[in-house]
């Protein structure tokens, strides 16, 4: 691997793993998705502008997670919570805790909130991934947060 790609991978690997984990809820699935993302990236790296590479990785991973959710998410939260390996039990608890909060919201609001709070992405970065105007995303974020605040108070 050339130095610039090595650096890109090193700088973003944990962020990408967290992004995938808090969507798929399983280390193996999340790591497979991240690996697949890099496989696709390296296949097209010549065509991706260096300044766009990071968002390309997130966007590819987002698409992969969405297509993998069908394979993974048919397990209920309880089943995911009871999976055997215990090495990640604390992380899995965190996933379940956050998922239980977010699952009450419409999917479009969940995604923006998850990306901004869990993944620490800016609204401009989220707009690049979801291909939506920043104003729309901010409005979804605000509606979702208001709804969560009401749910938490009740």
Q: Given candidates 11, 50, 52, 71, which one binds other proteins under the rule CB under 8 A?
A: 71
Give yes or no for residue 153 binding other proteins (CB under 8 A): no
**Minimum separation from the CB atom of position 54 to other proteins (A):** 15
- Residues 61 and 36: their CA atoms lie apart, in Å, by 8
**Which listed residue (24, 102, 127, 129) binds other proteins by CB under 8 A?**
102
Dihedral over Cα of 66, 12, 121, 100: its sign: positive
Q: State yes or no: residue 141 binds other proteins (CB under 8 A).
A: yes
59 Cβ neighbours under 8 A, 6+ residues apart:
128, 129
Rounded to whole angstroms, how far apart are CA atoms 135 and 54? 22
Shortest distance in whole angstroms from residue 137 CB to other proteins: 10
What minimum distance in Å lies between the beta carbon of 105 and other proteins?
A: 9
- Using the rule CB under 8 A, which residue among 9, 48, 55, 96 binds other proteins? 9
How is residue 65 written in tokens? 């997670």
Per rule CB under 8 A, is residue 80 in the interface with other proteins? Answer: no
Return d(Cα 69, Cα 114) in angstroms, integer: 15
């Amino acid at each position: 691997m050339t130095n610039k790609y090595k650096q890109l991978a090193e700088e973003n690997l944990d962020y990408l793993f967290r992004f995938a984990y808090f969507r798929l809820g399983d280390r193996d699935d999340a790591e497979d998705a991240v690996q697949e993302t890099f496989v696709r990236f390296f296949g097209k790296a010549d065509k991706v502008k260096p300044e766009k590479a990071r968002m390309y990785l997130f966007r590819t991973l987002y698409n992969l997670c969405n297509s993998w959710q069908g394979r993974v998410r048919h397990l209920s939260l309880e089943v995911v919570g009871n999976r055997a390996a215990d090495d990640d039990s604390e992380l899995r608890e965190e996933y379940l805790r956050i998922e239980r909060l977010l699952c009450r919201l419409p999917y479009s609001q969940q995604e923006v909130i998850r990306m901004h709070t869990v993944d620490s992405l800016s609204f401009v970065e989220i707009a690049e991934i979801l291909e939506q105007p920043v104003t729309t995303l901010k409005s979804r974020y605000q509606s979702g947060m208001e709804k969560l605040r009401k749910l938490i108070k009740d």
